[in-house]
Amino acid sequence: MAYFDLHAHPVLKAHLSGTHTANRRPVWANEQDEIPKASVQVLFMRDILRHQANLYQLQQGEVNLSVSVHHSPEVGMVQSDLFHTVARHIPAFVNPDLLREVARVGEPGQRTYFDHLRDSLDLLPDNLRGPQGQYVRVLRRLSDYKPEDLNIIRAIEGAHCLFSDPAGLTAADNLLRLLTEGHRFLYLTLAHLTDNYICTHAFGMRMKVGPMPITRHPGFYPRRAGLTTVGADLIRVALRAGVLIDVKHMSRESRLQYYALRTQEFTTAPIIFSHGAATGCSARAPRIRKALPHRTDPDLVVVHYHQGGLNPGVTPEDFNCWSINLYDEDIQEIVRSRGLIGLSLDKRIAGVNKTAKEIFSRAEYELIPERPLLENPRRHAAEDADVADEEDLMADDAWAEDQEMGRATPDDDAGISWLERTRRRHLKFLAYQILYMVRVGGPATWRCLCIGSDFDGLIAPLRCSRSALDFDDVEDALVQRLAGLADGKWDPADALNPNNVRERVRDLLWRNAWRFLERHFNDPAP
């Protein structure tokens, strides 16, 4: 059975392991790496550090058509405590020299983000063969697809990857240079986790991974509100060259401005949201409980959300309502464009973990129509106006799983293991994400959904799908779960019923993406 993934990082961990191709770890390894017992912090990250979608796992998991996302590590990321802790304990995983090299991006005479993007592309050359003769086919049009091979389509995550100057003025020229050299990209994700002068990004960096602080690097905080002139020009260059725009990581206002630009100038361009989930609420009225000025930066706002019940039933109130996910209006806009929504398999994004505080730029926060007024920070503890005290979200997840163990649900069997119950709980989040999007976007949404796992993108995966090797099990489990929910409550148009649920899941795991690529990746690049 063939599977598709709209967003995976099969070469990112190899990229992080060295400073040039010759001293980096192989992108095709048959065995899972053992995480040494270097420290409590490293062990806590074992699911993040382990390979989830290297080339071997994609091939063995029958994910024989996948988008390989190429990414340049950002300065804020490599200066974080997380990266330095791993580099100190496991230099074979994160090379300390690479961290020092990336930290100097933008300085005169140093390597640029664009240089690091080229490094990433070099790790996945044309005609790459695996240790047992497996063939990797980098596609430039869908008609080159061969079912017996591992087929890869390239994409770029973060417009900063195209920068060879600090302000990003060369981004459009560098994109065209790569296309002229023969590369082809399905999409360009305009933003990532740090400020990039193209558009405001949505805050997306957890301040802790388990007990380990990550960083308070200012680059992670959103600035301004929406697209810059340079960003709008880059969008025009990309779309005219046949590179679609991925709105993941763009802030709420950046997305709205892109939708307006698209409506005015590129009405036939579909919208891609490559890896994420639903917020469970409207962009006009996000579930904000209170908002305070940031403790040290008056241009930032710290937003606290109403927290869902973390209950076994799973409701939209349990989803992660950060603006990095899709508001109801985003879902409707993507469906109208006949675009693609890639469902992330990151448990934090899917809503499994407790929703933490989010940072907005003040300029962007003030554009939310039904926002609470900023409260006086002197009435609250200093920690409320910062994110440094973020609770241990993984511990919250473990607590929720423990609570569920003590509460029987109709589909629980006597004597079920803790691990199996956790898998079932995480599968509920995935199933309800699907049904919520269909309820918001209408029956046409079924044709717009696929998997955008974000595997090997340094995520903590859902336990129901911890790597590309689990896709087959997920298919059967999702069919069973959705069949039990096909009662009209979540899908009032009756587009899902016990007789068509397997077809719907097969569409989601393969056919929707194939039909999309037939429309948008079958002709030669412009």
Q: What is residue 491's predicted lDDT score, i.e. its pLDDT? A: 58
As a whole number, mean pLDDT of residues 399-423 equals: 59
As a whole number, mean pLDDT of residues 310-314 equals: 54
Q: Which of 131-135, 310-314, 380-384, 395-399 has the highest mean pLDDT?
A: 131-135
**Confidence bin at 410 (pLDDT 50/70/90):** very low
What's the distance, CA 292 to chain centroid? 27
Q: What is residue 386's predicted lDDT score, i.e. its pLDDT? A: 74
**Confidence bin at 330 (pLDDT 50/70/90):** very high
As a whole number, mean pLDDT of residues 311-323 equals: 78
H or E, element range at 129: strand 128-129
Q: What is residue 393's predicted lDDT score, i.e. its pLDDT? A: 45
As a whole number, mean pLDDT of residues 112-120 equals: 96
Residues in Cβ contact with 192 at an 8 Å cutoff, skipping those fewer than 6 apart: 71, 74, 157, 158, 160, 201, 249
Q: What is residue 186's predicted lDDT score, i.e. its pLDDT? A: 98
Query: Where do we find the tokens 């990112």?
Result: 12
Beta strands in 224-278 (DSSP E): 244-246, 272-276
Q: Which of 47-61, 306-320, 406-420 has the highest mean pLDDT?
A: 47-61
How many CB atoms sit inside 10 A of residue 410's CB? Answer: 5
How many CB atoms sit inside 10 A of residue 1's CB? Answer: 10
- What DSSP string runs through 309-375? ---TT--GGGS--STTSB-HHHHHHHHHTT-EEEEP-BHHHHT-SPP--EEEEHHHHTT-TTPPPPP
3-class SS at 507?
Answer: helix
**Confidence bin at 494 (pLDDT 50/70/90):** low
Contact predicate 250/201, CB 8 Å: yes
Task: Identify the weakest region by mean pLDDT among 55-64, 160-169, 289-298, 416-425.
Answer: 416-425
DSSP 202: P
- What DSSP string runs through 36-47? ----HHHHHTHH
Backbone conformation region of residue 454, classed left if phi is above 0, alpha if psi is from -120 to 50, else beta: left
Contact predicate 513/450, CB 8 Å: yes
| 246, amino acid identity | D
pTM of the model: 0.93
Contact predicate 458/379, CB 8 Å: no
Kindly report, residue by residue over 189-239, the tens digit of the pLDDT: 999 999 999 999 999 876 555 555 556 678 889 999 999 999 999 999 999
Q: What is residue 29's predicted lDDT score, i.e. its pLDDT? A: 74
What's the distance, CA 164 to chain centroid? 25
Both structure tokens of 447: 């044709």
| 441, amino acid identity | G
Q: Does domain 3-284+312-353+396-521 have CATH number 3.20.20.140?
A: yes
Select the more confidently predicted residue: 513 or 423: 513
**Confidence bin at 131 (pLDDT 50/70/90):** confident
Q: What is the mean pLDDT of the chain?
A: 87
**Confidence bin at 376 (pLDDT 50/70/90):** confident
As a whole number, mean pLDDT of residues 368-393 equals: 75
State the Cα–Cα distance between residues 330 and 316, nearest whole angstrom. Answer: 16
As a whole number, mean pLDDT of residues 24-40 equals: 71
Task: Identify the weakest region by mean pLDDT among 76-85, 234-243, 471-480, 486-495.
Answer: 486-495
Helices and strands (DSSP H and E) totals, the chain? 19, 15
How many CB atoms sit inside 10 A of residue 356's CB? Answer: 21
State the Cα–Cα distance between residues 293 and 191, nearest whole angstrom. Answer: 24
State the Cα–Cα distance between residues 123 and 101, nearest whole angstrom. Answer: 18
Q: What is residue 359's predicted lDDT score, i.e. its pLDDT? A: 93
What's the distance, CA 273 to chain centroid? 9
Q: What is residue 379's predicted lDDT score, i.e. its pLDDT? A: 75
Beta strands in 162-287 (DSSP E): 185-189, 208-209, 212-213, 244-246, 272-276
Q: Which of 213-217, 494-498, 503-507 has the highest mean pLDDT?
A: 503-507
Kindly report, residue by residue over 61-80, the tens digit of the pLDDT: 999 999 999 999 999 888 87
Q: What is residue 313's predicted lDDT score, i.e. its pLDDT? A: 57
Classify burial at 462, counting beta carbons within 10 Å of its beta carbon; exposed 0-12, middle 13-18, buried 19 or more. Answer: buried
Task: Identify the weakest region by mean pLDDT among 201-215, 285-299, 388-402, 437-451.
Answer: 388-402
**Confidence bin at 378 (pLDDT 50/70/90):** confident
As a whole number, mean pLDDT of residues 324-352 equals: 96
**Confidence bin at 339 (pLDDT 50/70/90):** very high
